[in-house]
Every structure is written in structure tokens, then in C-alpha cells.
Amino acid sequence: MGNTLDIASNKLSEQTKKLNIASYYTHENEELAKEMLNGNYNDLFVIKVKFSASSLFGAFLLFFNFPFSTLQDLYVIVTSSFDVDDIKTDIGWRIFEKDIKENLTKDEHDKGYTLLLQEELTGSFTLQPGSNQRGSELKKQLELDDEIIIHRIFKKFIMDRMGFQNIHISVDYEAISSLDMELYSSSSKKIDPRELTKINKGEDEEVQIETDEDVDIDKENAEMILQGSMILSPISGKPVSDIAIGDRIRIHLEKNQKSVHVAKAFKAYENDTIQPITGRVVSIRRQLSGGYKIFSLIAKGIYVKIEEEEENIKVAIDETENIGKQDDESTTKSRLMLIISVIIGIILILTMLIIFL
């Protein structure tokens, strides 16, 4: 009986871990995470490419994120060894990855060309707002399942970027999920366990409040403390040494699952990038080691902690509220001057009437 319970507990723990991984890659979209866990939602295409040019042979494995049209990870080899030419692309991606790994461990690869190809792939297919045309085109052809055009995209890419005149190339691809990549890929970068721990604790996890007694935040009602940094404005900004409580500063949130949620609520999340938001300074302390520790309130119960080591910088300030106040003050002054002018005019008219009457 005890053994059966242990097995059931282990299975539940394993399922929870997988669900947390799926939640991470779907930005905590519960519905999509469950679909991914059940094998009904694939967000990646694994693209397997092998090529040969004169005396060089190469192969690479791309994990292409379909929703965002960008690379999620890659694995590359370029070598003069004929062994790479024996690699097949029409096999499962895990075997293809294993073949690249075995050839890399032989230490016969050309490190210069391998690094060059890796950098060119990253630069060409990594998301850059407004300029990721190659990634967008690849997504379109994958959606159409046009093998000929996809083959042509990578052939042209290798010839243009690597400077090879004539190449022979083989390209195949298959759809998988980020969960598959995380669990079964031996080459891809893995999620920081601390991120999974945060997801596992959920949104109701206890907020870690600063123990410093002089931190001026509402500790009892603090729901979340995010990490962030100030947006710099070297020309029109305010010196960080002049920042005072109540100032509205422009902030960049450190990207993680929670900050993405917050940014979306602020409508400040575009193209997988968190846009700057405004926060009101509620605490600023100069550190003994230099620099400043700042807490800024961005919404009720939500604070951003900023640790700035530099002291000779200027910070971007949100002047929108001040502009409104200045407009109100200006309007009030104008009205007052108008009233005074009318009163003076009436007095002058009455005075003239009394004199002439």
C-alpha cells in the first residue's frame, strides 16, 4: 500500500513539474499550459539542416518559436570531417541532436566557422522589433508547409552569410512543444529552477519585504515587489541625487513571469518586450557602499525595487502630472487677472460717472 502511494505521489509531483514548465513557456496561460502538457499544443518547430560546401560540412538544429517568429535555441557544428555528411535530417530531432553532439565531442570541428554560423543564425532569426523579416518569412512558409521555399530560405542564408558559392543542403522539420525541448533536449538552455519555484508557489506566495526599518513602504498591504531599473535620460533627465519622494520616474521592469503579467495589465507588453512604465518614488536611501536603493509604487500594493550603483546619472521623469498642475495654475492665474481687470474697469467707469455727474 505504501509503495503504491509513493508511486502515485511521484507521478503527481512529476505532472506538477511538467505543468510548471508548460506554464513558464506559455507565460502562465493556464489553458495553453494544460494543452501543452496533454500534447495538444506545439509552439516550436525543430528545424534540422545539413549542408556541405567545398571541404567543409555543417549541421544545425534550430528550435524556432512559432508564435513569436524567433529562435528559442540552436545547436551548431561546422567541420572538415566527412562524418557530419553522414548525418541524416529525415530522422527524429533527438537523434539528429545526438549526432551533432557526438561530432562536437570529437573536437574536430572548425571553431571559427561554427561560431560564425551560430552568430549569423542568432542575428538573423532572433526577434528584433520591425526587422525580423527572415523569421516572419520562415513562419509563413512553415504555416504553409512549403518544403521547397523553406529549403530555399536556408540555402540562400548559408550562401549569403557564410560566403559559400555552391552548397548541397538538406532540410527537414517537425513540430514539438517547449515542454518537449525542456525535458528531452540535451543541448538547449534549461529554465532557471528558481523561476519554476516561483510558479509552483503561485501568485499567493508570501511577499519578501525588506527588513530595513527605514524602508517607507506599506508593508502590511504590499502584494508584490518586482525588480527593476530606472530609464536614463542624459540630457533632459533629473540627477539621481535630486530624486525625491513623490517624483514620478520612468522604470524598466526586470523580465520574469510576474512582471510580464503586470506589464500586460499596464498595456506595456509588446513583441515579447516589456515597455517602460511610470512609478512614484516612495522611498530613496543612499547606500553606504555607494549608489541608491529606491522603492517605487506602480499600482496599489505593487512596488518596484531599484538598486542603482551609479551616482552621476540623470533619470527620466514623467512630467505629465506636473504639466496638468501647471496648466491648472496658469488657468487660475489668468482667471484671477481677468476678474481684477473687470473690477478695475468697473471702478474706473463709476469714478468717471461720479465726476461728470
Q: Are 312 and 304 in contact (CB under 8 A)?
A: no
Mean pLDDT of 37-58: 94
pLDDT tens figures, 71-84: 889 999 999 988 99
Q: Is residue 211 very low, low, confident or very high in pLDDT (cuts 50, 70, 90)?
A: very low
pLDDT at 130: 42
- For the segment 134-156, the average pLDDT, to the nearest whole number, is 92
Burial state string for 297-335 with b = 16 or more CB within 10 A and e = fewer than 16? bbeeebbbbbebeeeebbbbbbeeeeeeeeeeeeeeeee
Identify the pLDDT of residue 224. 81
Q: Return mean pLDDT, the chain.
A: 82
- Residue 44 CB partners (closer than 8 Å, separation 6+): 63, 64, 65, 66, 72, 175, 176, 177, 178, 180, 181
The answer to whether 171 and 47 have CB atoms below 8 angstroms apart is: yes
Q: Tell me what pLDDT residue 262 has.
A: 82
User: Across residues 165-187, what is the average pLDDT?
Assistant: 95
* 335-350: pLDDT as tens digits: 666 677 767 777 777 7
- Most confident residue range from 130-144, 177-191, 270-284: 177-191
Percent share of the chain, pLDDT over 90: 39
Over the stretch 272-324, which tens digit does the pLDDT of each residue have?
889 999 999 998 888 777 888 999 998 877 889 999 888 889 999 987 754 44
Please give the grid coordinates belonging to residue 116: 560564425
Cell numbers describing residue 89:
535530417
pLDDT at position 309, please? 86
In sign, the C-alpha dihedral spanning 325, 328, 334, 339 is negative
